[in-house]
């Protein structure tokens, strides 16, 4: 059950330009959180911004959580000013986690930029629950924007790097690296990143006949399925119309369900 918890900030550190890692003491939320779920963080000074900001769980520890985030606008800029010892209000865990299916012999995580945020927790869950070590395709604009490479190596993951400018790894898009890996029929692909990157990843998976799970982002107001502020279109008709709520039905979806031309 989601709860609202007052959490002490333990650490809030810049890890790359405009990218931060925050660790908070949150025993209630951490005790229930699973990889792929998210939380809503209050970033108010006075009344603004009114809405909490959604953030994935980068790592889930017994009594704390880490959040990896990119400064996009006012709210995340305010988050970057949180200091250790400060108490902040966090609501969570929200949404559905990544399903962990033991029938796959290969798990490939495809991350674009800050889209890597939920994947350290997922890698840990795949290793701990399924006894498999995932491979990671880590893609970003340039070397300076590749995040979590050391963390994945420490977990024993094989990491394939790709950058738009060729400053590290292959000068290629993440989806091209995935196609080149040519995973066999037993593979499961998980992706998170810019919509265009997830759309390309889904296309490769569809060509190769592979299942693909995508963790989506949308601007959110309630975070709890009520306001319909976060709907994205789907390719199938559902009872409530041909759309899903990212916060309540997701944020993790079968990528084949999403109408990528409509998002
Ligand atoms: C389920 C979920 C999990 C997320 N996890 C993370 C995470 O782990 N790390 C991270 O850095 N970011 C994450 N995001 C995105 C993050 O919530 C937004 O970047 C943040 O809310 C922007 O707030 P802001 O006040 O800084 O920017 P604003 O001033 O509100 O907006 C700045 C720009 O960002 C766009 N934007 C605002 N909110 C979102 C959003 N939710 N998704 C996409 N674009 C948005 C706006 O359209 C605008 O162009 C997640 C989003 C969702 C829905
Ligand atoms: S944010 Fe309100 S329904 Fe998803």
pTM: 0.94
CA-derived radius of gyration, the chain: 18
Contact 243 CB / ligand 2 (< 6 Å): no
- CA-wise closest residue to 256 among 213, 215, 218, 216: 213
Contact 148 CB / ligand 2 (< 6 Å): no
Report the atom number in ligand 2 closest to the C-alpha of 221.
1
Beta bridge partners of 137: 110, 160
| Segment 139-156 mean pLDDT | 96
All domains in the chain, ordered by first residue: 3-94 (2.40.30.10), 106-215 (3.40.50.80)
- Enumerate residues 6+ apart whose C-beta is below 8 A from 249: 96, 225
Contact 194 CB / ligand 2 (< 6 Å): no
Q: How far is the CA of 251 from the centre of ligand 1 (A)?
A: 13
What is the rounded average pLDDT for all residues in the chain?
A: 94
Contact 225 CB / ligand 2 (< 6 Å): yes
Q: In this predicted structure, what is the pLDDT of residue 22?
A: 98
Atom 47 in ligand 1: which residue has the minimum CA distance? 219
pLDDT greater than 60 at residue 239: no
Q: In this predicted structure, what is the pLDDT of residue 96?
A: 96
Q: In this predicted structure, what is the pLDDT of residue 242?
A: 86
| Residue owning tokens 């590749």 | 146
Measuring from each residue's beta carbon to the nearest atom of ligand 1, which residues come in under 6 Å?
Answer: 38, 49, 53-56, 67-70, 72-76, 114, 117, 217-220, 246, 251
Q: Which ligand is nearest to the CA of 249?
A: 2
Higher per-residue confidence, 1 vs 216: 216
Q: In this predicted structure, what is the pLDDT of residue 2?
A: 81
- CA-wise closest residue to 11 among 26, 24, 29: 24
Q: How far is the CA of 83 from the centre of ligand 1 (A)?
A: 21
Atom 41 in ligand 1: which residue has the minimum CA distance? 219
The answer to whether 206 and 196 have CB atoms below 8 angstroms apart is no
Alpha-carbon distances of 159 from 67, 114, 125, 210, rounded to whole Å = 21, 16, 17, 20
Is the backbone peptide bond immediately before 2 cis, with ω within 30 degrees of 0?
Answer: no
Q: In this predicted structure, what is the pLDDT of residue 36?
A: 98
Report the atom number in ligand 2 closest to the C-alpha of 228.
3
């Amino acid at each position: 059950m989601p709860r609202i918890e007052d959490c002490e900030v333990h650490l809030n550190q810049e890890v790359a330009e405009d990218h931060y890692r925050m660790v908070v003491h949150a025993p209630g939320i951490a005790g229930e959180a699973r990889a792929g779920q998210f939380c809503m963080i209050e970033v108010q000074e006075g009344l603004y911004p009114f809405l909490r900001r959604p953030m994935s769980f980068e790592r889930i520890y017994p009594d704390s959580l880490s959040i990896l985030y990119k400064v996009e606008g006012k709210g995340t800029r305010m988050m970057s000013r949180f200091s250790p010892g400060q108490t902040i209000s966090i609501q969570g865990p929200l949404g559905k986690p990544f399903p962990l299916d033991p029938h796959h012999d290969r798990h490939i995580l495809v991350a674009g930029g800050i889209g890597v945020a939920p994947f350290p927790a997922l890698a840990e869950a795949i290793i701990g629950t399924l006894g498999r070590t995932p491979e990671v395709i880590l893609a970003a604009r340039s070397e300076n924007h590749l995040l979590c490479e050391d963390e994945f190596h420490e977990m024993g993951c094989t990491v394939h790097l790709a950058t738009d400018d060729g400053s590290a790894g292959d000068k290629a898009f993440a989806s091209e690296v995935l196609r080149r890996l040519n995973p066999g029929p037993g593979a499961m692909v998980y992706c998170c990143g810019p919509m265009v990157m997830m759309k390309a990843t889904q296309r490769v998976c569809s060509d190769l006949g592979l299942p693909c799970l995508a963790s989506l982002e949308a601007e959110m107001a309630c975070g709890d399925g009520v306001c319909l502020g976060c709907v994205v279109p789907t390719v199938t008709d559902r009872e409530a119309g041909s759309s899903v709520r990212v916060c309540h039905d997701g944020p993790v979806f079968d990528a084949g369900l999403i109408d990528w031309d409509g998002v």
